[in-house]
Amino acid sequence: MKSGNRATKLQAPTELDRTDRAILRQLQRDASISNVALAAKVHLSPPACLRRVERLKAQGLVRGIVALLEPRALGCGTLVMIGVVLDRSTPESFAAFEKAAQKVSGCLECHVVTGEFDYFMLLRTRDAESYNRLHAEQLLYLPGVRQVRTFMVLKQVLSSTQLPI
């Protein structure tokens, strides 16, 4: 995933209590919340809250803090899903594709999947014309690709970054 988050070494999982879960829910809703406001929402003192947040980060449960940007306002209003089939199913062909896919302009996600496709990619671009240019200039040259199937999103019904905690 192209997210810019630093890698975090995961510690052994610990049981999350009700307060840990409340902290994580609040951070998912608004990570810019101050520690004092977060502490009040989860009924802790600010120092205790800060210790818990730092522990959750150290355990790798919080990978990073980001701002969610408005795609349309930034000229990335078109969402495209792409199904990719590789010509070979070897570790080398998968590795080459994955390395190249990380460099595709506007690629938000790339997943190995089961079924008819080997990968699904999620891209943001300005419009259909800019996607067509991206397809011709980048997608067709990804290593080992036999087939690319494009699905233009007509309407985004739901998009969330919040996990059910």
The total number of structural domains in the chain stands at 2
Q: Which domain holds residue 43?
A: 18-58
Residue 83: CATH number of its domain: 3.30.70.920
Q: In terms of domains, do 90 and 147 share one?
A: yes
* pLDDT confidence band for 15 (50 / 70 / 90): confident
Tokens, residue 6: 């630093």
DSSP 8-state secondary structure symbol assigned to residue 144:
T
Tell me if 23 is assigned to some domain.
yes
Q: What is the mean pLDDT of the chain?
A: 92
Does 159 reside within a domain? Answer: no
Q: The pTM is what?
A: 0.82
If one compares 7 and 35, the residue with the highest pLDDT of the two is 35
Round the CA-based radius of gyration of the chain to a whole number and report it: 20
Answer yes or no: do 90 and 148 share one domain.
yes
Whether residue 9 has pLDDT greater than 80: no
Q: Give the residue ranges of DSSP H helices in the chain.
A: 18-29, 35-41, 46-58, 91-101, 128-137
Residues 87 and 147 in one domain: yes
Residue 9 lies in a domain: no
